[in-house]
Amino acid sequence: MCMRRSALFVGISLAGFILSSNLVRADGPWNAFYVGAHAGYAWGSADVTDTTGGVAPGPFSYSPKGAFGGGTAGLNWRLQGILLGVEGDLGYMDLSGSGTAPSSTPPNHQDLTLNGGLYAVGAGRVGYAFGQTLIYGKGGFAYFDGTAAQTTTKPGYLTSPTSSAFTGWAYGGGVEHFVWRNLSVKVEYLHFDFGSRVGSQISITDPPIGFKYDNKTDVTADSVKLGFAYHY
């Protein structure tokens, strides 16, 4: 909670600064291709459900979190004050965490984990530009190559973590402002719904031998980031 409040405070403070800046011309060059970089912090929820028996179905939840950052590229079209655009983000998101769930044979238990990975967002933007400032909304496709797993502490099982990336949606909005000629700075909030992926545990010594116990992990996250871009 402290980290979340700190991130929001930094974002609000920067937004206040850039909105009061008078360092550039009054009609920032919004009709342009741009590239840039960003960094931020994400916090979320991983919900694990056991779908083929063996243990209680759950869901069992824990709270992954971590920093993220990467590159950005996009293109804007300005129609009077209305701005339309497309934007892509690509980077690494350390959305990681762990939890536990009960086993069918106490005192054994199930370890639940999520590790960070590459992430990407391909989104549309729509906003209102006045002078060098833009207020916008954003939404589109989200990709996260993190790995989720459920592993029992009871011997005799082989764990297969999620074998494919999480895919889903991201949406949110932000404030962007030109601080010097073709250079803009933005503060952005996004909510991620990365969808769900399936992992499993296979019994290799415990009857019924060869049975596969499936589990499903759903991942969502909220994020705040700071970014800058150079507009051509």
pTM of the model: 0.85
Instruction: For residue 195, give the nearest of 162, 173, 160 by alpha carbon.
Output: 162
The string of pLDDT tens digits covering residues 34-72 is 999 999 999 999 999 998 888 888 999 999 999 999 999
**Does residue 162 register a pLDDT over 90?**
no
CA separation for the pair 48, 141 (Å, rounded): 23
Report the percent of the chain where pLDDT is more than 70. Answer: 88
> 2 phi and psi, to 5 degrees?
-65, -45
pLDDT band per the 50, 70, 90 thresholds, residue 22: very low
Q: Which of 74-78, 144-148, 208-212 has the lowest mean pLDDT?
A: 208-212
Q: Does residue 104 carry a pLDDT above 90?
A: no
Residue 119 or 130, more confident: 119
| E-assigned strand segments in the chain | 33-50, 60-62, 65-79, 82-93, 97-102, 109-115, 117-130, 133-144, 147-152, 157-160, 166-180, 183-203, 212-231
- Spatial separation of the C-alpha atoms in residues 217 and 49, rounded to whole Å: 7
In which band, very low, low, confident or very high, does the pLDDT at 7 lie, cut at 50, 70 and 90?
very low
3-state secondary structure of 155: coil
Domains, the chain, ordered by start = 2-231 (2.40.160.20)
